[in-house]
Structure formats: structure tokens, C-alpha cells
């Protein structure tokens, strides 16, 4: 059945200044998993609803390792989002992915170790496929939107998610290149995994701010350099969001990702934990109603 688009946007400061955003309102969205990073900004551009979440909180208050990704994704699901567009700064592991370039990621290597990475724990076991971790439809719209916004875009890249908050050692950076990774960041995992569990098609636009420290003849990554490039990327990022909204078909046709939980839940209904089921009210809303 066709329906309306409600795009959840997870990004950094400045993205909520989206051209043409009407009926803008910041709202608290409590979740059973704790507080999301900040209030969520609700609004619409024409017929497309938007829900914006500042990933690190306004003012960049929250460290990557301390993000409550479960609360963030639950809050977006609870807010009626149909799809998620994540926008984040990344480091480059390839010469051809220069600072200022936008990269639409299609694969991940998860090197995070301190983060809760699933909604499904003891009491309700669920296994979703992450073989193809992003939504190809939304990713294609995202790549076209970067071009329409005047940015240089590369379609398809492998993102290695590191724990942080420290940047890589040179040995790690060189290892990631050997693994075939193209870009590096600290926030896409477990964000993308949780979006899949929540049946939310997910796409990631990475904005290259710097070369990671694999270039041994050059200085290591510097925060001032990263911040300067982030500001340069910001205007194109905002224009990209506007271009993506303008490019969406009038009606949203279903995605296979909308129903992944039909094939993921393993625990016999007779022994599922009622307390966990209650926490999963938003995540399981569709399958519970079926």
C-alpha cells in the first residue's frame, strides 16, 4: 500500500535550518530506552514530513561512545518516520576521496565495542540480515540530491565504524585500508543496525572532512581542520536535504525493509518476556498489529 514519506534525518548542527521547513516545532520524544540525544524537530516541506534529530545534541554535547542509539532510533520510529537519512562527517582512507567530497556509503565494518547494538535481547531474540545494510532506493535519491546541490559525490563505499573518541593510530588506519575500507567514522554503528531492526530503510551520506592518518608523510588528523571542513560542507548538506525532498515521488511505495521482522523473530511467543515486549512497543507495532 502506498503512503506518505516521513523522512527522519540524523545529523549535525545547522541541518535543522532547512529551506522551506514549515510548521517547525521542537518536541520531547521519551522512549523506554532512555532519552534520545536531544529534542526532535518536526516540520514539513510541502507534502513530505521531516523529523530531525541532532545526533550529538545541539552544541555537540555527547561523545560517540555515549550516544544512546537505541533511544534515537526508537524516537524516530515512534515519531512516524518511514525512512532515515543519516548525514555525518567522515575521514578518508582513499586518495580519490578528498576533503569536501560527499560519499554515499553502502557497506560497513563494525569495530565498535562499547555500545548496545540491538533492541532484541534475552526474552525476545531477533536476527535481521545486514548483508545489504542500506536502502538502495533512498541511497540513490541521496546521491542524486548531492549532485543537484552542487556537491561532488561518490556512490558506494565501505565505512569502518571505530569506537573513538580518539582518532586512529597509523597502524589501524593502514590496516583498514588493507581490509578494503574507504572511509572511517564513529557514529554509523550501531545506528544502521538498529534502523534495520526498526524496519526503517536507512541511507548514509558521509561528508569527508580529512584524510585519516594513513598518509604517513603528513600531519595527523587535527580537530581544527575537521571543524573547518565541516563548516564548508554544511551549506551543501542543507541544500542536499532540500534537493532530496524535492526529488521524492509523491507517494512512497513499500520497501522490502518495511517488513524484515516477519522473518527475524526466533523466540516462541509463549516464552517471550512481557517487559521486553512492552519496551518494544514502537519497534514491534506493525507485527503486533498483524
Catalytic residues: 210, 212
Q: Where are the alpha helices (DSSP H) in 98-169?
A: 136-148
Best CA proximity match to 37, nearest among 52, 51, 56:
56
CA distances to 44, 124, 270, 277 from 121, in Å: 35, 6, 16, 11
- Asked if 247 and 148 count as a contact pair (C-beta separation under 8 A), the reply is yes
Q: Are strands 158-162 and 183-185 parallel, antiparallel or unpaired?
A: parallel
Best CA proximity match to 140, nearest among 88, 192, 181, 83:
83
Amino acid at each position: 500500500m502506498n503512503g506518505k514519506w516521513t523522512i527522519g534525518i540524523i545529523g549535525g548542527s545547522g541541518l535543522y535550518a532547512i529551506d522551506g521547513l514549515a510548521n517547525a516545532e521542537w518536541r520531547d520524544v521519551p522512549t523506554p530506552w532512555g532519552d534520545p540525544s536531544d529534542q526532535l524537530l518536526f516540520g514539513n516541506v510541502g507534502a513530505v514530513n521531516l523529523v530531525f534529530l541532532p545526533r550529538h545534541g545541539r552544541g555537540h554535547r555527547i561523545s560517540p561512545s555515549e550516544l544512546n542509539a537505541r533511544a534515537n532510533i526508537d524516537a524516530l520510529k515512534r515519531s512516524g518516520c518511514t525512512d532515515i537519512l543519516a548525514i555525518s562527517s567522515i575521514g578518508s582512507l582513499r586518495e580519490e576521496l578528498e576533503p569536501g567530497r560527499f560519499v554515499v556509503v553502502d557497506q560497513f565494518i563494525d569495530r565498535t565495542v562499547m555500545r548496545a547494538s540491538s533492541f532484541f535481547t534475552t526474552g525476545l531474540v531477533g536476527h535481521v540480515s545486514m548483508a545489504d545494510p542500506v536502502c538502495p532506493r533512498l541511497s540513490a535519491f541521496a546521491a542524486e540530491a548531492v549532485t543537484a546541490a552542487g556537491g561532488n559525490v561518490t556512490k558506494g563505499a565501505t565505512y569502518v565504524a571505530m569506537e573513538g573518541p580518539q582518532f586512529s593510530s597509523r597502524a589501524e588506519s593502514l590496516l583498514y585500508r588493507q581490509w578494503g575500507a574507504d572511509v572511517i567514522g564513529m557514529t554509523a554503528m550501531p545506528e544502521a543496525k538498529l534502523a534495520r531492526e526498526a524496519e526503517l530503510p536507512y541511507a548514509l551520506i558521509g561528508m569527508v572532512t580529512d584524510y585519516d592518518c594513513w598518509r604517513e608523510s603528513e600531519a595527523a588528523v587535527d580537530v581544527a581542520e575537521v571543524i573547518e571542513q565541516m563548516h564548508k560542507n554544511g551549506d551543501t548538506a542543507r541544500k542536499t536535504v532540500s534537493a532530496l525532498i524535492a526529488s521524492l515521488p509523491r507517494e512512497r511505495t513499500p520497501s522490502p525493509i518495511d517488513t524484515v521482522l516477519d522473518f527475524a523473530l526466533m523466540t516462541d511467543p509463549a516464552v517471550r518476556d512481557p517487559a521486553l515486549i512492552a519496551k518494544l512497543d514502537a519497534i514491534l507495532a506493525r507485527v503486533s498489529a498483524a
